[in-house]
Amino acid sequence: MKAVIDRIENETAVILFGDDEVVLDVPLHHLPDDVTEGTWLRVDFLIDEHTTSDRIRKNKFLLEKLIRKGRAGQKDADQ
């Protein structure tokens, strides 16, 4: 996908993505140092399998913990 730096405002680049010109504000510190208004970028989105599986595992753990806590709290209320 290609994108263009439309303008720079307050250390933020306003970027137009693709043919639909979807607008996204990106802090300049996330971009190459030499970008200016009118600079074209090539953008690739890649899946981070490691982080995705890690977050799924952590979320399952937290959900199970909440469910166990809810069951314990319900037992205390029933007594």
Chain segment 46-56, per-residue pLDDT in tens: 999 999 999 99
Q: Are residues 64 and 32 in the same domain?
A: no
Q: Are residues 31 and 55 in the same domain?
A: no
The answer to whether 23 and 32 have CB atoms below 8 angstroms apart is: no
Q: Are residues 32 and 53 in the same domain?
A: no
Instruction: Indicate the number of domains in the chain.
Output: 2
Which pTM was predicted? 0.68
| Domain span holding position 25 | 1-45
With 90 as the cut, is the pLDDT of residue 28 above it?
A: yes
With 70 as the cut, is the pLDDT of residue 76 above it?
A: no
Our measurement of the distance from residue 75's CA atom to the centroid of its chain's CA atoms, rounded to an integer in Å, reads 39
Helix (H, G, I), strand (E, B) or coil at 40: strand
Q: Are residues 56 and 40 in the same domain?
A: no
Average pLDDT, integer, range 55-79: 83
Provide the pLDDT confidence category of residue 70 given band limits of 50, 70 and 90.
confident
Q: Are residues 37 and 54 in the same domain?
A: no
pLDDT given for residue 78 in this prediction: 62
Distance between CA atoms of residues 6 and 22, nearest Å: 11
Q: Are residues 38 and 57 in the same domain?
A: no
Strand order in the sheet with 40-42: 22-27, 12-17, 2-9, 40-42
Q: Are residues 28 and 59 in the same domain?
A: no
Q: Are residues 9 and 32 in the same domain?
A: yes
Write out pLDDT tens, residues 7-24: 999 999 999 999 999 999
